[in-house]
Amino acid sequence: MHKRFTALAALLAWGLAAAQAEEAYTIGEINSYKAQPAFLEPYKKGMDLALAQINLTGGVNGKKLVLVTRDDNGSPADAVRAADELVTREKVDVLMGSFSSPVGLALADYAQQKQRFFLATEPLSDKIVWDNGNRYTFRLRPSASMQVAMLVPEAAAMKKKRWAIALPNDEYGQSAAATFKRLLKAAQPDVEFVAEQAAPPGQVDVGRVVQALADARPDAIFNVLFAADLAKFVREGNARGLFEGRGVVSLLTGEPEHLDPLKGEAPLGWVVTGYPWYAIFTAEHDAFATAYRKRFKDYPRAGSVLGYNAIQSIAAGLKKAGSADTEKLIAAFRGLQVRTPFGPITYRAQDHQSTMGAFVGKTGLYGGKGVMVDFKYMDGAKFQPSDAEVKKRRPAAP
């Protein structure tokens, strides 16, 4: 009798789990939560807010959204193993995530091999949707080259001739530096690049980098370092007077994740991309920021918006597709429009890149903290490769 009861209970539990699975869409999310907590803790909160809002209003196509996360330890190999476990054991409907470019590229390759839909939310590598693009991979965040293109007009307006560059020695950093040199040279033919200092992310010898840049005597500096490397670079550069009398253009530095840790040491007058959440006064952003602060008793960061937009994108794609079928999702995401705190964005059919933009402004200080001032929103659609360039760079894919 006891064995029969146990077997019956197990059968009922299995049936209940199966029924619940049928009533939900499961999103498998892979990211570097332990390696990049400053960015990814707010990112996860952004996802949680979007999930709560969507599920509170009935979910998508009558189904709830369920999120299953895995940590990739910042390793492409670990990310692929996590993706395979999510697909084969957890039976997730869609994959999304990744922070670093190497991890994002590895997951994009996995998606192509396994023919599974994948939304790359944060990696900046151009290769993800262009040079190595495939039909299964879409990307949310504006790429490195897009954000560099937003900065170049400001750099050219400085009329500085001799430039030095500090960058992480990875695909993201190399791509950003190459794009900056190409676009600035086109805008200002007499420009010279007199120094370039690269080091592995997280292993930058800032003393050596700052001294090498100072020895080159540049008129201006283009910086691609971020996170802890950026903080060390700013502090060492301030101590040695590297930035005095020089123009500085810096990718990502205006994001709270990178600017806030510097507090009163934040640089003044740098031209940056970022997210000035405290001074964006639109109905869409007010609604998002108010809901975020009410739920988490904290202010949003750049990662918060990306996490929120990622879940909203998946929800919009599932709704348009009417199912989680990979081919239907691909068709739905091509040209998909999504409402976001920055306004509507579109996933381009020709390359699967979203038109999400970024803010460009200058760094300042307010209340002992770094802020962005004199900023404006740059629509990502205006800084993307032309259709002709996409055809040249993106592999032919049905």
* pLDDT per residue as tens digits for the range 121-173: 999 999 999 999 999 999 999 999 999 999 999 999 999 999 999 999 998 99
Give the bridge partners for 28, in sequence order: 68, 95
Tokens of 115: 């023919």
Whether residue 220 is predicted with pLDDT greater than 70 in this model: the reply is yes
For the ranges 7-16, 45-54, 113-122, which has the lowest average pLDDT? 7-16
Give the bridge partners for 189, in sequence order: none
Confidence bin at 22 (pLDDT 50/70/90): low
Whether residue 14 is predicted with pLDDT greater than 70 in this model: the reply is no
Q: Beta 345-346 vs 337-338: how paired, if at all? A: antiparallel
Whether residue 235 is predicted with pLDDT greater than 90 in this model: the reply is yes
Give the pTM.
Answer: 0.93
Instruction: Write out pLDDT tens, residues 301-339.
Output: 999 999 999 999 999 999 999 999 999 999 999 999 999
Residue 377 in contact with residue 282, Cβ under 8 Å? Answer: no
Please give, one letter per residue, the 3-state secondary structure of 88-151. Answer: HCCCCCEEEECCCHHHHHHHHHHHHHHCCCEEECCCCCHHHCCCCCCCCEEECCCCHHHHHHHH
Nearest by Cα to 72 from 42, 101, 47, 114: 101
CA distance 139 to 353: 5
Nearest by Cα to 69 from 97, 46, 41: 97
Whether residue 217 is predicted with pLDDT greater than 90 in this model: the reply is yes
* 96 CB-contact burial (10 Å; exposed 0-12 / middle 13-18 / buried 19+): buried
CA distance 307 to 69: 12
Instruction: Write out pLDDT tens, residues 178-201.
Output: 999 999 999 999 999 999 999 888
Please give, one letter per residue, the 3-state secondary structure of the chain. Answer: CHHHHHHHHHHHHHHHHHHHHHCEEEEEEEECCCCCHHHHHHHHHHHHHHHHHHHHCCCECCEEEEEEEEECCCCHHHHHHHHHHHHHCCCCCEEEECCCHHHHHHHHHHHHHHCCCEEECCCCCHHHCCCCCCCCEEECCCCHHHHHHHHHHHHHHCCCCEEEEEEECCHHHHHHHHHHHHHHHHHCCCCEEEEEEEECCCCCCHHHHHHHHHHCCCCEEEECCCHHHHHHHHHHHHHHCCCCCCEEEEEEEECHHHHHHHHHHCCCCCEEEECCHHHCCCHHHHHHHHHHHHHHCCCCCHHHHHHHHHHHHHHHHHHHHCCCCHHHHHHHHCCCEECCCCCCEEECCCCCEECCCEEEEEEEEECCEEEEEEEEEECHHHHCCCHHHHHHHCCCCC
The residue-averaged pLDDT of 228-243 equals: 95
Report how far apart, in Å, the C-alpha atoms of 208 and of each of 203, 264, 322, 396 are: 12, 24, 56, 44
* 252 CB-contact burial (10 Å; exposed 0-12 / middle 13-18 / buried 19+): buried
Confidence bin at 397 (pLDDT 50/70/90): low
Mean pLDDT of the chain: 94
Q: What is the pLDDT of residue 90?
A: 97
**Domain annotation for the chain: domains and CATH numbers:** 2-143+282-357 (3.40.50.2300), 145-277+359-383 (3.40.50.2300)
